Structures are given as structure tokens and as C-alpha cells.
Structure 1
Amino acid sequence: MQLSYPRAQLGFADRGLLDKKSLKICAAVSRYWASVAKEVEKGHVCRKAVQKNTIYLQGLYPRGAVSDYAKIVSVAIPQVNEKGCVIKVRDHSSGSKTKEDEEEEEEDENSLQAAYRDLQTYTIQLEERNVFCGSYNVHVLSDRSDQNRVIHYAGGDLLAIGSADRKVRIFNVLEMREVLPLLSGHAGSIKALLLNEKNGLVFSVCCDLSIRCWNIYSGACTKIFNGHCGTITCLDLHERKFVSGGRDGRVKVWNLDSGLCLKTLKHSNIVYAVKMDGAHVVSGCDRGLVKVWHAGTGTLLKVLEGHLGPVKCLSFDHWHLVSGSSDGYALAWSMVGDLKKCLTAFRHPKEVLSLELLYLRVVSGCADGKIRVFNFLTGSCLRVLVGSSRGDPVSFCVAENRMVINAPSRLLMFQFEDVKWDYTLAADQEVVQKEKQENCPLGTALTRSQKPKSHTSSQIGHLTLETQGANMIMLLLLDLLAKMFRSASKH
């Protein structure tokens, strides 16, 4: 049975299933198939050009956020007693609330400070900045498709990459090339990486239950840490200590110099995320629980409940914590005392895979291929970046003005322009399309009644953020496509 030329061409081109090797095999069959293969190859070239121009044009539009906005703001923090317990406010109200009081509370419901209404608080000064809201250049570090790729970048020039080939590669992001040595020795696919360029070290884990520490310049494996009984899923480092979490439900704190396990902290389920600083270890598990531990003694300080799915990512500072889950929520918490109340929630259309809390901004990577920047205090969405034009899940690492984005289809680096922060600006967003933003269900903080408390609240709508410049990008892309097809038809 012989397929007609248009039908065969349409099938291959629409599905995009043929790589270069397969096209060469098809071209060798006959002249007919050679012409089909040639047309399909032209389609591949056009598709790549459109994707490249899409991410380039995307970086030219800050999309409504004031890119140089910064301010020193007063932030309420709950007071605690000598036992570390938050202090509740005594209710002096004698009678029912007035209509004016109810309206004022309703207006304040979306504010982070509403969560502290029943608590004694004091005010501290913190700096907020619209990080990653300006223009940027896009660098394609790799266009090789890899579903198993894991990365870690912590600033500097080097990026660590691991995959199913059991090797760890070091990539120079400035020179845009892989550098020696190639690190090999694991028995299975690399599951997590932790790069410390300052000390010349990289940590890697796989299904063989060990953590290997490598010298990134000599390629030597300097230490092997053993102790987990299940595959290790996550790592984090602080000074000369690091922490690991695994499928055995254990969180282990290690001394980098001696190689000894200092503390073993327990979950009853798989641990997917761990973070640490000098005072705390924070871990998230498959049950949706977030546990906060004392880094020195290993004492469990509090358990935070609110997620309806596994906790996949964490980020915290001295005052606040954010956790991301497969339930599509990033939840905000207080690190102060024994307060366990969820402060606010940031909704996403799919699972949250990466999080960073920087300058009172929450940067999140989602399984819908987008990276979002939220205002931690108000919950408003300031910026939406497209990490994958195909809508593939994306995770990222950020440092200074760089964002390295890992998607199954490619590896990108967004190099943001240097910003001179302006502390005199009145608002973090341009006052445009106000009515549309008010109607957007996923661009604002949730009220208490909307925060996830049961499975009935887990149905999330699609994100419909409309931003200035989107129409211009579409027009430019359509013009680009028209020119490409006119050029292809001439040849």
C-alpha cells in the first residue's frame, strides 16, 4: 500500500517523531521518500527557529512588573515567650463587630498580616526587590532531550549535570562547553547533585544508597558517605555540614570533614526535599508534611500540615518558609516559634517543582513549563517566564542574576541584566489591566476560606494571566512564521 505524498508528509511533520538518523534512513529508500525527508527536515529547522525566537522575545518584556522596584518595608513578626510559644492577643471586644470592622477585615483578608491578627507582633525592617522581573538574554546550554537529567548551580562559572549514564559532568556556563574531568563511579542513574564551586566539591547520589564527594578539578572521589537504607532523593549544604533525605524516610546531617553522620531525623514516609542553615533543618515528605528541626540538637520544633500531596521543594530564611507540592500549591509559613498556621498560599495549575525565597519574592518552577515570581507579602503574581515552550515540567537553580532552567527537552540559562534598584518607587507593578488582574483566580493570594484544607479544594483552574506585550510577541511570531514559509516555498 503506497501512501500519497501530502499524507505522508503531514504525518511526519505534525508528529515530529523523526530524528536526523531516521530521516537519513528514510531518504535512502527512494527519491519519493528523500523528498519527504527533506520537507520534514525543513519543518524541524522552522520549529527550532520559532522556539529560539520565542524565548528571545519573551526576555524583552518585563510584563507589567516594575523591574527596578525595591523598598525597605515594615513586616510584622509574631512575638514568642521564653518557651518559644507565640503569644495570643486577649479579646477585649464587648459586643458584636460593626459593619465597618467587618468590611475592613474583609479587605485585609488577602494580606499576609491577616494571619497574625490574633497574635502579638512586633515590626522588623526587611528589604524587598522585584528579582527576575527585568529583561534577560537566553543561552541554550544544551538542546539535548533528557528525561533523567538533574542539575545543580550555586553561582560562579560551573554547573553540575548528571543523568542515567551514571556520570557527573561539569559545564562552564561562560564558555558554553563541558570541561574535564568527567566524574564516574556510581552504579546507577544520578538522582541528585550538590555543587560547591568555592571549595571545589560536588556531591552526587544514585540508587546505590551512597553519597559521593568529588574534587571537581582532579576528578577524584574524596569521600563516600553511607548510612541510608533507601535511594537518596535530595541534598543541601551549609558551611562544613550537609544534609540528605531519602526514600527510607530518614534525614541525615553529616560532617563534611570527618564523614560522620551527626544526626538522623525521622519521617514515616519518603523525604523529597531538605534544606538547612546554621539554626534549622527543614524537610518535606510524601505525606505532605513539613518538619522543622533544630540543626544542633536534632529536636523536632514543629510539624506544618496543609499540603494535599508530596512536598517536592522548600526554601526558607530566618523569618519565613515556603513549601511546594504536587498539589499545585506553594504555601507560606513562619519560621518563628511554634506558629503552625499557613500564612498564605500561591496557586499553580500543576505541581510545584522548584522554589526560591529571595527578597520577599517567591520564585516557583511548575510542571506546566512556567516560572512565576510572586510578591510574598501580597500574594500577587508579578512575572510569568516560559521555561519550556512545550509545556514540559521545569526546575531551576538561581544565583545572583542567573537562572539555570532544566526541562526534559533542553537546558537553558537566563542571564538577567544588572539592575540599579530604585527605593523611591511607589508600587511593584504598573497600574495596568487592573480589572483583569482582579478577575484572575491564580494571580492573587488566597483568603483563609480558599486555602487548601480538604481534597474538595484541590480543583484548580487554568492560569489566565494576561500581560502587556503578549500580543506584540504573538504578532512578531506570526510574521516570522509567514516569512519562513514564504522562503521555504520559493526553494
Structure 2
Amino acid sequence: MPTCRHTLAGHDGIVTCIDLDFASGRVVSGSSDRTVRVWDGNIGECERVLASHSGSIYCLQLEGERLFTGSQDRTIKHWELSRLPGKEEGAHRRKKTIRDAAQSEQPTGDPCLVNTLTGHTDAVTCLHFDAEYLVSGSADRTLRQWDLKTGECVLQLDAGWAAHGARAPPSNAYTSVSDGFVGALQFWQCALCSGTADGVIRMWDLRTGQTHRTLTGHVGPVNCLQFDERSVVSGGEDGTIRIWDLRTGEVFDTVQFERPVTSLQFDDAKVLCTAGDCEVKIYNRTNFQRSAFRAHREPVSCVRFAGRRVVTGGNDDVVKVWRT
């Protein structure tokens, strides 16, 4: 079972999303307290608090020094963590305590903030980016593709056209990421996969803006998903993880839990997920066995892993770094 290496405290609200960079050991977390915290996961210290959003943070992605965050405030923000104080060439990165980081909060004019992408008319609930583009999903029932060089929206997809009965959350109250109409997405080159509140997973061609496949089986909103060249793994409000064979479009395996699945990540060997309680669930894709470990005092909201390192966020307002 994993061993907890660090407990990262400092958020004043539920940790809604997390990510980590394997090479550097850096961890980033978003919260209902409207802040993003950047942590050195190797030593368990907060490097900086990013406080430019005016609403809860619903989604984020970290790749190297590049970070994008999406919020209830309807915006997406692009951050360059190479601009963190103490990152000057030839200097060692200055470590900050949580108190130091809190004192450095800059609601406006943060040197790490590169750009703000605006256009969504409701909360930004999910996002994914590569070197050139970012795709975002929103409670406004749209997906938008953004050119990262210009910051302009180059494609808008209507995710709600086939699901007129699904209801988006109110924008004036805190809701979980799963409450947004577009619950999850990922893209690779021209292939986009999205999961929405009608329980449907759609495969889109970003060259044409058209759907070319729909995967139906969830009986509630899709909260999280990931795909590769062979399969899609999705988690939903119906308490299931479904593993889909992309060659046939059929469900290969279904794993049932007692509560909604709120986040997941998989590799060839396993699926890690959170499902409304204090544990991280582990599903072995080779022998089909299930296991779990207790991670937080309150329900675990999100999980990510890279190599032997696992990071979790919880409703107890803390992030934990684990070693397997």
C-alpha cells in the first residue's frame, strides 16, 4: 500500500483538482477557495499561491512549467511557472513556507500569469491542452478549441444539441466539477473525447467539428474520462467505471462502486479512481482484482499518479503526496 510522504495544508476549501509533473516533483492544486497552489512535492512546501481567479477552480493541467486553470468565473488562465520568484537563471529556486506563499498572493498583476481566455458564458468545468491548442468544456454546454499562440477561440462545438433534457448547474453557487454539463474531455491530435451530463461519451473530429461516434451506457452524468489508442475509461454519477473498446465501441468491463466516481487515471496495469468516500480505489487491469487505501479523513475528490508517486486531494482541504 502507498505511504504518505507529505500532507500539504493551506487551502481554505475543498481541493477540487490536482496535477503533478513527474520530472520536477511539482504538484499543483485547485480549490473552492478560488486559489491555485503550487507545491514542491519533494519537500512538501508551497512555492506560490495563484489568486487571480474570482471563482472556484474546477480544472487544471500542468505540463512542465506550463499551467492552465479553469474556473467558475468562466475564464481559463495560462500561467508560466518559470516566472516564479527565485527561478532566475543560475539561481536555486527559493523555497517558501505556506505563510510566505500566502503573503505573496497577488490578485492582480501576478508575474506568472500570461493570458486569460474568455468566451465561455458559464463555469469552465474541464480542459486539456497540448503544444498548440487547448480544448475547454463548460456548463454553458459548449466545447471550445483555443489557439495558444493567439489566445483566440478557433472552434466552438455544441455539446448540448443531443441532450436537451440535461440541466447545467447554477452559476451563482459552488458546485462540484461533476455538476457541469461537460464533465470531462481529452484530445489527441484531431480526436476529441467528451463526456457530458446526459451520460453520453462523444468522439469528435476537430478538423470538421462533427461527432463520429457516441458511446452510451452510463445512466448519469460522465464526470471523468481518459483515452488512448485502444480504449476509453470513463467514470460517472452512476457509480461505475466503464472500459470501452474503441475498435468496437462496446464496453469491455464495468466496475461498480457505491457512490459517484469523481476522478480517475489509468495506465496499462491499473485504474486509480475516487468514488465519494475516504479511499482511493485501485482496479488491476491484468487480474481484474480490486483494492483500496484510505487517503483522507473526508471524501477524496481527485487523484493523479506518475510513476510511483500518487497525489490526492480531499474534502478535508488538504493535498497528500504518496509513494507506492
Verify the 8 A CA contact 2:280 2:300 in the aligned structure 1.
Answer: no
More strand, by proportion: 2
Verify the 8 A CA contact 2:300 2:312 in the aligned structure 1.
Answer: no
Verify the 8 A CA contact 2:262 2:302 in the aligned structure 1.
Answer: yes
* 1:195 equivalent in alignment to 2:100: no
Verify the 8 A CA contact 1:151 1:159 in the aligned structure 2.
Answer: no
SS in 2 for 1:217: helix
**Rounded Cα–Cα distance in structure 1 between residues aligned with 2:299 and 2:52:** 30
Q: Which residue of 1 aligns with 2:140?
A: 248
Aligned ranges 1:61-76 → 2 under 5 Å: none
Q: How many residue pairs were aligned?
A: 275
**Rounded Cα–Cα distance in structure 2 between residues aligned with 1:188 and 1:394:** 18
* 1:396 equivalent in alignment to 2:303: yes
Q: Which residue of 2 aligns with 1:330?
A: 241
Displacement of 1:340 after TM fit? 3.1
What letter matches 1:413 in structure 2? V
Q: Which residue of 2 aligns with 1:456?
A: none
Displacement of 1:266 after TM fit? 1.9
Q: Which residue of 2 aligns with 1:455?
A: none
* 1:348 equivalent in alignment to 2:257: yes
Displacement of 1:147 after TM fit? 4.1
Verify the 8 A CA contact 2:298 2:314 in the aligned structure 1.
Answer: no
* 1:310 equivalent in alignment to 2:221: yes
What letter matches 1:334 in structure 2? D
Displacement of 1:298 after TM fit? 2.5
Verify the 8 A CA contact 2:184 2:225 in the aligned structure 1.
Answer: yes
* 1:153 equivalent in alignment to 2:19: yes
Verify the 8 A CA contact 2:125 2:184 in the aligned structure 1.
Answer: yes
Verify the 8 A CA contact 1:370 1:394 in the aligned structure 2.
Answer: no
Verify the 8 A CA contact 1:372 1:381 in the aligned structure 2.
Answer: no
Larger-Rg structure: 1
Displacement of 1:215 after TM fit? 1.8
**Rounded Cα–Cα distance in structure 2 between residues aligned with 1:399 and 1:332:** 21
More helix, by proportion: 1
Verify the 8 A CA contact 1:329 1:352 in the aligned structure 2.
Answer: yes
TM-score, length basis structure 2: 0.78
**Rounded Cα–Cα distance in structure 2 between residues aligned with 1:358 and 1:252:** 27
**Rounded Cα–Cα distance in structure 1 between residues aligned with 2:9 and 2:116:** 33
Aligned ranges 1:65-144 → 2 under 5 Å: 136-143=2-9
Verify the 8 A CA contact 2:60 2:127 in the aligned structure 1.
Answer: yes
Structure 1 gaps, min length 5: 1-58, 60-135, 417-491
Q: Which residue of 2 aligns with 1:92?
A: none
Verify the 8 A CA contact 2:17 2:301 in the aligned structure 1.
Answer: no
What letter matches 2:212 in structure 1? L
What letter matches 2:312 in structure 1? I
What letter matches 1:267 in structure 2? A
Structure 2 gaps, min length 5: 84-110, 161-165, 167-180
Residues 217-250 of structure 1, C-alpha deviation per residue, up to 9 Å, x if partnerless? 3233211111211111111122322211110111
**Rounded Cα–Cα distance in structure 2 between residues aligned with 1:299 and 1:226:** 23
Q: Which residue of 2 aligns with 1:231?
A: 123
Displacement of 1:306 after TM fit? 0.8
Change (3 A) 1:165 1:369: closer
Q: Pick one of 406, 416, 423 that aligns with 2:313.
A: 406
**Rounded Cα–Cα distance in structure 1 between residues aligned with 2:272 and 2:34:** 30
Displacement of 1:187 after TM fit? 2.1
**Rounded Cα–Cα distance in structure 2 between residues aligned with 1:346 and 1:164:** 29
Q: Which residue of 2 aligns with 1:216?
A: 81
TM-score, length basis structure 1: 0.53
**Rounded Cα–Cα distance in structure 1 between residues aligned with 2:283 and 2:138:** 30
**Rounded Cα–Cα distance in structure 2 between residues aligned with 1:406 and 1:365:** 10
Identity %: 24
Residues 389-432 of structure 1, C-alpha deviation per residue, up to 9 Å, x if partnerless? x452331011121110111123211112xxxxxxxxxxxxxxxx
Question: CA RMSD for the aligned pairs?
Answer: 2.1
Change (3 A) 1:176 1:377: closer
Verify the 8 A CA contact 1:145 1:408 in the aligned structure 2.
Answer: no
Change (3 A) 1:387 1:365: same
Q: Which residue of 2 aligns with 1:280?
A: 191
Between 296-305 and 318-327, report the one with greater CA deviation.
296-305
Verify the 8 A CA contact 2:305 2:311 in the aligned structure 1.
Answer: yes
Displacement of 1:323 after TM fit? 0.7
Q: Which residue of 2 aligns with 1:185?
A: 52
Verify the 8 A CA contact 2:13 2:32 in the aligned structure 1.
Answer: no
Verify the 8 A CA contact 1:366 1:395 in the aligned structure 2.
Answer: no
